[in-house]
Structure 1
Amino acid sequence: MTNHEEALIRRIHREVADQYDEELELELEDREFVLCPDGQASLAEDGPDERAHRQRYFHELFRLQGELVKLQSWVVSSGHKMVVLFEGRDAAGKGGVIKRISQRLNPRVCRVAALPAPNDRERTQWYFQRYVSHLPAAGEIVLFDRSWYNRAGVERVMGFCSDDQYEEFFRSVPEFERMLVRSGIQVLKYWFSISDDEQHLRFLSRIHDPLKQWKLSPMDLESRRRWEDYTRAKEIMLERTHIAEAPWWVVQAVDKKSARLNCIHHLLQQVPYAEVDQEAVVLPQRERRADYVRMPVPQDMIVPEIY
């Protein structure tokens, strides 16, 4: 092997390591912050048990993400259509698992739908209408970070819908989901379950972490006060919308890492995917033309190299 080939292999290894650094950055986001006497937040120190736990977590996460890539290839090849709904209380970990599912996948195949509150026009539409445009075509997966179940949760608790609208939702949603399934869309519904104490801890973490404070809205804070109202709404929702064609699956989410692994593993078990043979990729030789001269980039267009 020549020196040039050895250098190239080292560069490739560094490139792979850089890609996995992204996962470590996401891990930093999950680390527990402690408040120092001077009022500044700092990271809690890890013991050997915690480090070993994190190593096992990463090992299994990367394995499951490899399976998700295989699932993606099968979805594209077979024309399968999937909708995955993620519901749960504020700070339950829905966004974290969605990040880990979509992280290694093609965003043209696996899309995330996180709809804002409906505008004035959307409030006058058929309730499900604004969600329909986000449903998958053949060979697509759509992950809903909250979904049409907003009506059974936040809208009910906060008084954003009438009693008649609430009851009409429960009459309509089973038929709506059965219609999706009959049309060839697989519907998976996950509820992320956390305890009262765990939500309290996560809210405090967001309050004291300047990188997470944006996640706390006035609605989130109000949801904390109305914990029991949300509990009743959730129990009614699960009871009235747990149907054979699209059942609910409850993820125990007090431990974020375990919840992610359990959810991804379960999702993979729900799809009859198989590994798709891929053609060998051959990198073509770059063409070089004698009459081409590269033009210099003006210095005032170059971003300063501060780092």
Structure 2
Amino acid sequence: MAKKPVREPKLPKSAYEAELFRLQTELVALQEWVRETGARVVVVFEGRDAAGKGGAIKRVAEYLSPRICRVTALPAPTDRERGQWYYQRYVHELPAPGEIVLFDRSWYNRAGVEKVMGFCTPEEHTRFLRQTPIFEQMLIDDGIIMRKYWFSVSDAEQLRRFRARRDDPVRQWKLSPMDLESVYRWEDYSRAKDEMMVHTDTSISPWYVVESDHKRNARLNMIAHLLSSIPYEHVERPTVKLPKRPVSSGNYRRPPRSLSKFVPDHVGNLLGDTEH
């Protein structure tokens, strides 16, 4: 029987939105520091299906420049990629100086879904557990700032979210046969996660667990921790002066509107419907 999740105290929505915006303002400051200093930042998001990783990533990246912060969510490997060194396609996605990369799942696929679903051999899984701390040590030794977050959700809350996806026409695409396997193989995924933690939760590259039965709490906790763990500084931005009105030489004339093709006024139709 699914264990009933322990619900954390809820912040009022207004308080949540105010604190989220404050943290996102600080994320912009972090971005400007990354740009100015040429820092390289990697943030790994892992966890159970429907644990809230995507929502957290969305809030982190919402106000950041896509030229500096990008989200990487790689599809299943091609036949060519399966024959490469396992980490090779992830290395290709690592940040250049002045960039932040958010991994929406990462090389840790091998420790989770590949292990549980039999998509890798036992030998490949064992090699992964042995090599990953070395791989991450190399990244950090080269100057990359890396943070790893594991989003933890109870079995009952996960099932509730799956049901919500099933009944929501704009989120049904997020519910796949692989998600259903995570329900039936809950304990297998738990064992795989525990084994992964034993081998890859190292002093130089630790895992930070985010309790995510309450999505809003999880987002605030995760972003606040990320900001507190990176010693960034606020970078002074030049003051931009705008003219009081658009500058015009007086020589430009717009072409007649009849020469342009405008999209139909859909909103006007809606407003007309509301008037009747």
TM-score, scaled relative to structure 2: 0.90
Matched with 1:156 is 115
For residues 252-291 of structure 1, the C-alpha deviation after alignment (integer angstroms, 9 at most, x for no partner) is: 1111000000000000011001111111111256442333
| Distance in 2 of aligned mates of 1:294 and 1:288 | 12
The 8 Å contact of residues 53 and 104 in structure 2, kept in 1 or not, is answered as: yes
| Structure 2 residues without counterparts, runs of 5 or longer | 1-8, 268-276
| Distance in 2 of aligned mates of 1:200 and 1:65 | 30
Q: How many residues align?
A: 258
Match of 1:144 among 99, 103, 116: 103
Matched with 1:279 is 238
SS class of match (1:107): coil
Matched with 1:101 is 60
Matched with 1:304 is 264
Alignment partner of 1:57 is 2:16: yes
SS class of match (2:235): coil
| Distance in 2 of aligned mates of 1:297 and 1:184 | 55
SS class of match (2:35): helix
1:1-307 alignment, distance < 5 Å = 53-284=12-243, 286-298=246-258, 301-307=261-267
1:237: how far off?
Answer: 0.5
Query: After the TM superposition, which of the residue ranges 294-303 and 183-192 deviates more from structure 2?
Result: 294-303
| Distance in 2 of aligned mates of 1:54 and 1:235 | 34
| Distance in 2 of aligned mates of 1:291 and 1:195 | 66
Query: After the TM superposition, which of the residue ranges 83-92 and 271-280 deviates more from structure 2?
Result: 271-280
1:208: how far off?
Answer: 1.0
| Distance in 1 of aligned mates of 2:152 and 2:200 | 17
TM-score, scaled relative to structure 1: 0.81
Q: Which structure exhibits the higher relative contact order, with contacts defined as CA atoms closer than 8 Å and separated by 6 or more residues? A: 2
| Distance in 1 of aligned mates of 2:90 and 2:120 | 17
1:98: how far off?
Answer: 0.3
SS class of match (1:92): coil
| Distance in 1 of aligned mates of 2:103 and 2:119 | 21
1:145: how far off?
Answer: 0.4
SS class of match (1:301): coil
Instruction: Give the RMSD, CA atoms, in angstroms.
Output: 1.5
- One-letter amino acid of the structure 2 residue matched with residue 68 of structure 1: L
Query: After the TM superposition, which of the residue ranges 234-243 and 290-299 deviates more from structure 2?
Result: 290-299
| Distance in 2 of aligned mates of 1:290 and 1:76 | 39
| Distance in 2 of aligned mates of 1:136 and 1:288 | 42
1:300: how far off?
Answer: 6.7
| Distance in 2 of aligned mates of 1:298 and 1:134 | 47
